[in-house]
Structure 1
Amino acid sequence: MATTESKRQQRFASVIQQDLADIFQREGSAWAPDTLVTVTRVRVTPDLAIARIYLSLFNAKNKQLTIANIKSHAGEIRYKLGARIKNQARIVPQLEFFIDDTNEYVEHMDKLFEKISKEPRQED
């Protein structure tokens, strides 16, 4: 089932992504100490009620603990977001946070391919 986002969803997701990036840049150390938090992607449900936020956590000692701490502050983060988007949106969506491990996956695959390329070739 291919889901394509409407222009409205994409625009709203973009606004949320920019505002959350700013919030994390300014205040993120409260929820993720010594961690660089990057908002890599935001997906919004068609009714705009739920925003799924994908975060890249750089330098986090324990990513699961860090994301759990961010999730525990979702209400506070949503409130801060609401203060910023109140003129652009009727509702402030529920925020769901996820770790975006795309970079780790890419690095892992690169290492695997590098390892494979160094192995001696076998004749058929």
Structure 2
Amino acid sequence: MSKNHHSGGGAPSQRQLRVGELIRRTLSEALMRGEIHDPDLAGMSITVGEVRTSPDLRIATAYVMPLGGKDTDLAIKALARNSGELRRLVGKAISIKHTPELRFVKDETFDQMDETRRLFSDENVRRDLDSDEDE
């Protein structure tokens, strides 16, 4: 499932965006402060790039990436293993009727940025861009 896919077909509501951002901030802070006591997470700095919620706010998908992009699978497994504890922290931080189930997936935007940088540094692409500017 791509990051731009929303069940229901439309763009996310303001409420989905607001709840997603609150969850993202809560997860980021909890991970930064080391509130989850898991040896796999202990030495890892994890970026939570975005959190998307389902329209009914029952599922929240966190797009995560360890610093440097290494051990992504290990990080996602460790986060999934600790999702109950993370969900409890989220429930304390935000006040909504049901705390969403947390899911963790690799944040592909970093890979896309690297690929975009690589393309822009390609000699042929630069030459094409330069010729577009000359016109």
TM-score of the aligned structures, taking structure 2 as reference length: 0.74
Separation in 1 of the partners of 2:117 and 2:37? 31
16, 20, 24: which one aligns with 1:17:
24
58, 61, 70: which one aligns with 1:52:
61
Separation in 1 of the partners of 2:20 and 2:126? 45
Q: What one-letter code is carried by the residue in structure 2 that aligns with 1:9?
A: Q
Q: Secondary structure at the match of 1:3?
A: coil
Equivalent in the alignment of 2:131 = none
Separation in 2 of the partners of 1:25 and 1:111? 30
8 Å contact from structure 1 (residues 60, 66) kept in 2:
no
Structure 1 window deviating more from structure 2 (110-119 vs 60-69): it is 110-119
Q: Unpaired runs of 5+ in structure 2?
A: 1-7, 129-135
14, 17, 35: which one aligns with 1:7:
14
Q: What one-letter code is carried by the residue in structure 1 that aligns with 2:46?
A: V
Aligned length: 119
Q: Is 1:101 the counterpart of 2:108 in the alignment?
A: yes
Please state how far the C-alpha of 1:83 moved relative to its aligned partner.
2.2
Note the aligned Cα RMSD (angstroms). Answer: 2.5
Q: Secondary structure at the match of 1:41?
A: strand
The share of aligned pairs that are identical, in percent, is 27
**Cα separation, partners in 2 of 1:33 and 1:61, compared to 1, 3 Å:** farther
Q: Unpaired runs of 5+ in structure 1?
A: none
